[in-house]
């Protein structure tokens, strides 16, 4: 009898060799630094204001942006978030008291119609961009947010259609997304204007590497990074107060998803115009998404995708959520692997994960996420084995490549062995957990799934055997396990014997 290890620690990949209708797949299936398979981080409401955020109704109350800011007014940490109705709220992260920063009047709401809110901060206030005029808050919960300044053409011209804003060397820098003739420019506030209320009409520079519109702005290492539809340019900070930002580098790589930009130390990652994920400092570029480029190019809509860096548990992940497609991809920077994340519809299939915004609270070591449907604030937790926030299980699934055990001869399967960690105290005391398993021989239909009992708490056997039988030349396996239990797979091995002829 021969035995072969079935690779289960590989990330999501796309290949022309994938079986028709059964491409290799990893959903909610993560691998730690020791090559052990476990579930993705769960969404829980037991950490931040436990049990509060369980709303299931509310028109336009889903969250489109969140940011943790330490107020200079009272030195308290607030989670400031924006709802789909453009109202702005502040949650004191110590007392959990939520204060409305908007009333029924329009000037207290976030201006514009951008689907994501972008935040920046200076030494005194928080600034928010949403596709219109910039909104500012002083940090005093008794004071509502307000527009940054009135526009007087030819005299004072703060941005009227800013989707992005950054603070760099005491300047606020923004784009003008909707104004003809200026959508390829960056503009900035006046020098020495501590309130950023003065915007000289001459305070602008043009991203002129190509006449493409500016769709995103980011800042790092005394440079403003300007993302256009065809190019990326860096503008360095100089000594000339009349032109503090001058072009210093450029790449002929555009951006197709304005909110996909993620800062990675001295570089940025984003989705380019060819639907690839790139990492660059505007001088050199690295293509990181070869394994999933085909999958990304099959998407119908990517422009609403947004990204964030998640350093949690075993992983340092670049995470991109695509709301229209209902899919999320996380790139493990250590293993150079891709993992697909999805939610569950509560019945029989996957659905979009319930994440619409992300903010990290360092003092509380909390990874806070906003619900896209209703005004719920949850946290990500590697120890949560279910999405307790949306109250749904995490269903992990792996579909292997077509396996031939390095021989084209016919083979008889004797058994498949799973080495695993199971039976911990986190499992139910009387209800066992299961693996849900199926096989697919020589591109035929999937077999009827079988469930393998993994035991109850205290049942600590290190392996479990499955006897699927069958004769094949090439075979695929589908392995599923769901949230709510503590299961970790370390190895999957098939025992088989070759047949003559």
Predicted pLDDT at 463: 87
24, 400 Cβ separation under 8 angstroms: yes
Q: With CA atoms as reference, report the closest residue to 392 among 451, 342, 456, 321.
A: 342
Whether the per-residue pLDDT at 379 is higher than 70: the answer is: yes
pLDDT digits (tens, 9 = 90+) for 258-304: 999 999 988 999 999 999 999 999 999 999 999 999 999 999 999 99
Q: With CA atoms as reference, report the closest residue to 60 among 416, 406, 371.
A: 371
Q: How far apart are the first and last CA of the chain?
A: 17
Q: Which residues of 349-373 are buried (b: 16+ CB within 10 A; e: fewer)?
A: ebebbbbbbbbbbeebebbbbbbbb
Residue carrying the six token digits 């935040």: 119
Average pLDDT of the chain is: 92
Predicted pLDDT at 484: 65
Q: Which CA distances in Å does 43 have to 173, 236, 300, 314, 380?
A: 34, 40, 27, 16, 5
The DSSP bridge partners found for residue 178 are none
Predicted pLDDT at 196: 92
Range with top average pLDDT, 20-24, 71-75, 481-485: 71-75
Predicted pLDDT at 238: 83
| Domain residue spans of the chain | 2-40+397-498
181 — pLDDT class (breaks 50, 70, 90): confident
Predicted pLDDT at 425: 45
Predicted pLDDT at 461: 73
CA atoms 235, 236, 238, 244: torsion sign? positive
CATH fold for domain 2-40+397-498: Jelly Rolls (2.60.120)
Strand 488-498 to 463-466 pairing: unpaired
Predicted pLDDT at 457: 60
Lowest mean pLDDT among 18-32, 73-87, 389-403: 18-32
Q: With CA atoms as reference, report the closest residue to 432 among 411, 452, 410.
A: 452
> Distance between CA 42 and CA 48 in Å, rounded?
14
pLDDT digits (tens, 9 = 90+) for 235-256: 998 878 778 998 889 999 999 9
pLDDT digits (tens, 9 = 90+) for 89-144: 999 999 999 999 999 999 999 999 999 999 999 889 999 999 999 999 999 999 99
Rounded to 5°, the CA angle 165-303-260 comes to: 50
Predicted pLDDT at 84: 98
């Amino acid at each position: 009898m021969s035995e072969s290890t079935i690779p289960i620690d590989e990330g999501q990949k796309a290949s022309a060799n994938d079986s028709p209708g059964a491409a290799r797949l990893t959903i909610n299936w993560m691998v730690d630094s020791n090559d052990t398979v476990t579930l993705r981080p769960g969404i829980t409401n037991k950490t931040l204001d436990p049990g509060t955020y369980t709303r299931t109704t509310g028109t336009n109350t889903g969250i489109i942006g969140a940011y943790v800011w330490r107020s200079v007014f009272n030195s308290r940490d607030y989670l400031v978030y924006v709802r789909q109705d453009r109202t702005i709220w502040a949650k004191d992260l110590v007392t959990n008291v939520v204060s409305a920063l908007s009333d029924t009047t329009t000037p207290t709401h976030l201006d514009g119609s951008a689907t994501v809110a972008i935040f920046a901060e200076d030494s005194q206030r928080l600034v928010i961009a949403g596709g219109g005029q910039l909104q500012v808050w002083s940090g005093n919960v008794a004071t509502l947010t307000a527009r940054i300044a009135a526009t007087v053409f030819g005299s004072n011209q703060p941005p009227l259609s800013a989707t992005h804003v950054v603070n760099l060397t005491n300047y606020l820098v923004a784009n003008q997304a909707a104004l003809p003739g200026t959508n390829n420019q960056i503009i900035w506030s006046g020098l020495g204007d501590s309130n950023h209320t003065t915007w000289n009409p001459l305070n602008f520079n043009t991203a002129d590497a190509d006449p493409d519109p500016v769709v995103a702005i980011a800042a790092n290492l005394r440079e403003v990074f300007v993302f256009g539809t065809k190019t990326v340019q860096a503008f360095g900070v100089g000594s000339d107060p009349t032109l503090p930002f001058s072009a210093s580098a450029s790449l002929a790589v555009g951006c197709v998803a304005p909110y996909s930009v993620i800062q990675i130390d001295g570089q940025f990652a984003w989705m380019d115009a060819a639907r690839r994920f790139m990492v660059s400092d505007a001088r050199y570029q690295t293509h990181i998404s070869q394994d999933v480029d085909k999958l990304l190019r099959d998407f119908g809509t990517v422009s609403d995708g947004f990204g964030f860096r998640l350093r949690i548990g075993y992983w340092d992940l670049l995470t991109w959520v695509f709301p229209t497609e209902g899919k999320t991809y996380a790139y493990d920077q250590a293993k150079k692997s891709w993992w697909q994340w999805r939610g569950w519809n509560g019945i029989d299939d996957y659905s979009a994960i319930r994440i619409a915004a992300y903010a990290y609270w360092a003092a509380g070591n909390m990874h806070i996420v906003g619900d896209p449907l209703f005004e719920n604030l949850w946290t990500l937790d590697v120890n949560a084995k279910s999405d307790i926030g949306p109250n749904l299980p995490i269903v992990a699934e792996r579909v292997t490549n077509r396996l031939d055990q390095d021989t084209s001869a016919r083979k008889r399967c004797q058994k498949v062995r799973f080495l695993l960690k199971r039976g911990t105290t986190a499992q139910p005391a009387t209800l066992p957990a299961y693996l849900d398993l199926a096989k697919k021989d020589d591109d035929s239909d999937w077999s009827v799934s079988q469930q393998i009992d993994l035991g109850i708490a205290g049942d600590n056997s290190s392996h479990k055997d499955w006897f699927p039988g069958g004769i094949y030349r090439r075979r695929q396996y589908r392995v599923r396990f769901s949230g709510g239990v503590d299961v970790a797979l370390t190895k999957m091995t098939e025992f088989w014997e070759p047949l003559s002829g």
